[in-house]
Amino acid sequence: MIAGSSHESRTIRFLLVGAAGALLLLHAVGWVATATVFWEQATLHVPRIQSAIVVGLGLLVVRAAAAPRRNRRLVVVFVLVCTAVAFVALPLPKQFEGEGLMPGGNDTGSSRGQFENRFRVGQGDVLFHSHLGDVVMTALDAAFGRTETSPARAYDTLSRLAGLLFLLELGIAAAWHRWSRQSCRYVGLAIATPLCLLFFGYWDLGYLSMAVGVVPLLALASKRGAVRAHAVALVGGGLQGLHAALHGFGLLGLAGGALAALSRPGDALRRCVRGMTFTSAGVALYLGWVFFYVTLGGLTVEWERQLGYRPLFEPMVFDNKIANPLLSQAGFGEFGLFSALSGVPLLALALLRARRATLVPTILFALPGLIFLVRWWPPSAPFNLDLMLSVFPGMFVACWVLASSHKTSLRAVVVLAGLHVLLWTTVGNGVFSRVDVIP
């Protein structure tokens, strides 16, 4: 679909499907290893009420999508409002079965000194990996008076604001598609994802990277003329770039969106222009803030974070913790866990049900995340939920594909309910908790 001739298009499609199939097979082996570890070591835990709420509301929207347009629109708006109320009224607990749900954020939000050490905008520095998110957190802390309790209030407020942005993007996406059945079912599936739990007052920033409105925009581009398609790519790229500025994991969505934009219908020139439009808008909204930090705020931008990468053959020590190699039962098990929690099983289901026209864009959007998950090794796993649930933006393209029919949407809800059980069982048992090494 990217090359000029039909023969080249078929060849590229074959190679992409083969590569995606090989990657998904690797992920599936990880799921089997994960299931083996859980069967031997874990005790099943019932999800908290927050999971029941988002899955129940998501199922309600999926079922209502079969109703006439006016009725399903009312149900979608009603569910979006109810979800927003739940975000505020039912905050997540700080602990579950004696395990901390947000260890890094809890330390930072409970200590004035640690907060100022983490968010240094007031000292003239901004950390690049979440530069806009840091600025927003610092502004919220200032608005609450820079007291001993203001960091906690800033974290709570940021989580709810991110949840409102998430719901706003969903509402606009449904309206863009004129409240079509697919767009309404997409709203329901997105609300039912474990990611939504982070908007119940989670204390960290990783979830800010997830842009739920980008996939519906790219889907809209395939139904419009050339000018509107490029306009949609511009808006979608800007939205993804904004989320990447809030947290750097948004770069995975930016890369996937650029690849998917290249695969849309049209000749090679139009595809390239559309892909460049998406990319340039994304990069501008991702890096453009740096100009204002330096020129208006007098800030210094610093790079401090180091990503953990999983070894392949031999254990290694990273951040004073033992990293098991991928080619081991423990390594494959934790890789499979991260893969499952981030939503890769949804992608596998979507590719089995995808129409030929949507197969390549779906694969391209998900490909950066699929590759990244193979090597990514988070030192705080499995308790850094903000990263574990935000590392795979391909989950949204899977939700869009599965929302194309009522039957596949119901299957997706079942898978999502299972992921909620997996999440709470993981945290409750502390499965794959890191082992510290004394320096």
d(CA 163, CA 198): 8
Whole-Å CA distances, 296 to 157, 241, 290, 432? 26, 21, 10, 45
Name the domain count of the chain: 1
Whether this prediction's pTM lies above 0.75 is answered by: yes
126 part of a folded domain: yes
280 part of a folded domain: yes
437 part of a folded domain: no
The mean pLDDT value for 27-54 works out to 93
Radius of gyration of the chain (CA): 21
- Is the CB of residue 50 less than 8 Å from the CB of residue 367? no
The mean pLDDT value for 420-432 works out to 92
Q: Is the peptide bond before 439 cis (omega within 30 degrees of 0)?
A: no
> For the chain, how many helices (H) and strands (E)?
18, 6
Tokens matching residue 277: 């439009």
* Cα angle 405-58-404, degrees, rounded to a multiple of 5: 15
What digits encode the pLDDT tens for the residues 155-210?
999 999 999 999 999 999 999 999 999 999 999 999 999 999 999 999 999 999 99
What digits encode the pLDDT tens for the residues 132-150?
999 999 999 999 999 999 9
* Cα angle 374-376-381, degrees, rounded to a multiple of 5: 120
- Is the CB of residue 230 less than 8 Å from the CB of residue 273? yes
User: DSSP readout, 282-302?
Assistant: HHHHHHHHHHHHHHTS--EEE
On the question of pLDDT at 417 being above 50, the answer is: yes
- 106 or 31: which carries more pLDDT confidence? 31
On the question of pLDDT at 368 being above 70, the answer is: yes
Three-class secondary structure of residue 119 per DSSP: coil
d(CA 250, CA 368): 11
pLDDT score, position 439: 55
373 part of a folded domain: yes
The residue written with tokens 């908007």 in the block is 199
Provide the Cα torsion 244, 368, 284, 243; round to 10°.
-20
Closest CA to 343 of 431, 403, 416: 416
317 part of a folded domain: yes
d(CA 200, CA 157): 10
24 part of a folded domain: yes
Q: Where are the beta strands (DSSP E) in 300-411?
A: 300-302, 316-318, 321-323
Which residues, 6 or more positions from 115, have their beta carbon under 8 angstroms from its beta carbon?
108, 109, 141, 151
Range of weakest confidence among 16-20, 78-82, 236-240, 243-247: 16-20
Domain region containing 289: 11-429
What digits encode the pLDDT tens for the residues 207-250?
999 999 999 988 876 555 566 778 888 999 999 999 999 999 99
Mean pLDDT estimate for the chain: 90
What digits encode the pLDDT tens for the residues 159-170?
999 999 999 999
pLDDT score, position 205: 94
pLDDT score, position 303: 82
256 part of a folded domain: yes
How buried is 298 (Cβ within 10 angstroms: 0-12 exposed, 13-18 middle, 19+ buried)? exposed
425 part of a folded domain: yes
Provide the Cα torsion 373, 374, 375, 377; round to 10°.
60
- 213 or 438: which carries more pLDDT confidence? 213
pLDDT score, position 102: 85
pLDDT confidence tier of residue 3, bands split at 50, 70 and 90: very low
